[in-house]
Amino acid sequence: MNHELERLEAMLRARPAFHSNEQRRAAYDAQAELFPLATDVRVDPMDAHGIPAEWTSTPTANAHEAILYLHGGGYAWGSLKSHRHLASELGRAAAMRTLAIDYRRAPEYPFPQALEDAASGYRFLLEAGFHPGRIAVASDSAGAGLAVALLVRLKALGVPQPACALLFSPWADMTASADSYTRNAARDPVLNRETMQFLAAQYLGTLPRETPLASPVFADLAAIAPLVIFVGTTEALLDDAIALARAAGLADVGVRLEIWPGMFHIWPSYHQVLAQGRQAIDRAGRLLREAMEAGEAAP
């Protein structure tokens, strides 16, 4: 293990325990202060069909291409602020503008409100004139599960699919039954089974944990957009990512699964201090560019 990875994992393990959603939300936003935006990032707050949102862009961004970014945080935590550094740098790597939305969070707004907001954000881009072949959905953790649920929902509504969905460390199975929770219990410095069970209860309440639009490994994934999945070998959610890739592949969906040795949950978020984080951002950006270039129907 390299020194920067050791230091980062030690920092994550040393974080204090939080006893409320309010404390955790504040901690997410406070951590963002450690990762200032590059000076050439432009941030434009806006309203997307009543949902607080913001555009981020860099000078090389193509004005005709957009990333819809759905942040992680277990459907309860995370915000525009907490994920701005990740969303904006992914946009830079892909030479695209990024629209991040502040979807409603549990427990105040349980399932399916976050999904409704994600669908509204996507429709906003279509109505703004973006061709679906020039839109990518990008996401991390719970946001990645939400992204796949969005694709399934768009299919049901007859709305055109985006070019692809990029998923960092997806949470795709709210049963929290995967073996990697146990196998990586001592290796994952971010997540554990108990936390994910708590978050699932906040989001779903009494609904079954296998609800397909909350746990998309159980959804009918046929005819959704291609998936690009990044996951680390030390993650509690490793098996979620593998199961999602398998389910999508069996449904004849294009899938690229990248398993990064020694990496923990959403390591690309630490791209400013972790070389592998920067490498993952750059790799993801190249894959998004490939998806855009394949959207030949777009102007």
Which residue numbers are catalytic? 141, 235, 265
How many Cβ atoms sit within 10 Å of the Cβ of residue 157? 9
The residue among 121, 158, 134, 169 whose CA lies nearest residue 267 is: 169
Q: Strand, helix or coil at 147?
A: helix
Q: The sheet that has 96-101: what strands, in order across it?
A: 42-48, 51-57, 96-101, 62-70, 135-140, 164-168, 227-232, 255-260
In which residue are the tokens 């906003």 written?
124
User: How far, in Å, CA of 47 to CA of 131, rounded?
Assistant: 20
First to last CA, the chain: 46
Q: Strand, helix or coil at 54?
A: strand
User: 255 vs 114, 207, 244, 258, CA distance in Å?
Assistant: 25, 29, 9, 10
Q: Is residue 64 within 8 Å of 299, Cβ to Cβ?
A: yes
